[in-house]
Structure 1
Amino acid sequence: MSARLPSWAWVTGLTTGAIAVVAVLGVQADQGTKPVAAATPPKATATADPKPSAAPSKKPTAPAVPADSGTGRRIVYSLGQKRVWLVDASDVARSSFPVWPGTVAPDPGSYTIGTRTEATTGSDGVPVEHIMYFAQKSGVFVAFSNAVDGSSPPPADPGARTGGIRVAKQDGKALWTFGTAGTTVHVVE
């Protein structure tokens, strides 16, 4: 007849064995390769730029807000540059982005955002959103908007009379948030 070992003896034996295995693995790991510091520090490389700059390179900045574009909080739209600036009350441009104008352009001057429409279909058949009407010329309404799918419009048929000024989708959101009803839109050449 064989004697049974009590459960505490089994637990003690297994625990002792596990500690021995961990100790052996620790010794083996200690004998492995170790990282070492380089004997000589790395050398600086020369630059081909005759005027090195200490400042990190920045993304290109947007053109300055056009002169004679009003003062205070406003949206500035340049017909020639095909660009919009969102200018805060301290006359600082908070955002600027390119636009794709329609075939009917507003005359230079100062306007006010009137009707705002969340979404509709543009005169070119493209679903648009963030529509902000601010002018009318020769029976054509002029408004900022962005395509719902984020696409830019194809070149307009020169015979078509469209007043939509399209912006990229993310710019449309910024313009919608900034251009509440009553916001001034200053159009410059």
Structure 2
Amino acid sequence: MTDSFSIHPLVDGGVERGREGFSGSTLMCRCTADPVEVSVQSEFLYNHLCGCTQCWKPEGALFSILAAAPRERVRVASNEQKLAVVDPNKLLHRYACRDCGVHMYGVIEDPEHVFHDFAFIHPELSRDPGWNPPTFAAFVSSVIESGFPPSRMSELRSRLRELGLEPYDCYSPELMDIIAAHAARRAGVLQEE
């Protein structure tokens, strides 16, 4: 690892603001011919950086950029035959282009799972600019599993904070509240509000 590191090319120079009224776009894989296109007819929700080793990220980046959209608002618009699940044994089925390897979206098939109603997408694949930027960094410690030196984690967390991206080793408090509320409803200890 060199003295510098790339968190992600779209945030290394600063986090840009989104465009008010952004309501969706088409995601495109990196193929120059016959790209996979995925239509997302929703704003991109809960945008964040993810340090896990499972998500697709650009070459040299420590983090991916990940967002959610309502599952029913995400559909493959073209070249669906090029998609395959990266690892069917994982909870999140990540659909990637067989040719370029880019992950297009991921879904959880278990209807009882808190995130079943979402599709997880990579906003940077959007054909249209203006999506909301990431607002936090999740699973930060996981970058160590990619080979990042543990001795530099303080430096990394400091840089994330400089960018306005609070580092967590789970999800943001907002998403953790959603997970806890879902569990409480299933256990019968929390009624609908």
Higher share in helix = 2
TM-score interval, normalised by the smaller of the two chains: under 0.3
TM-score w.r.t. the length of structure 2 is 0.23
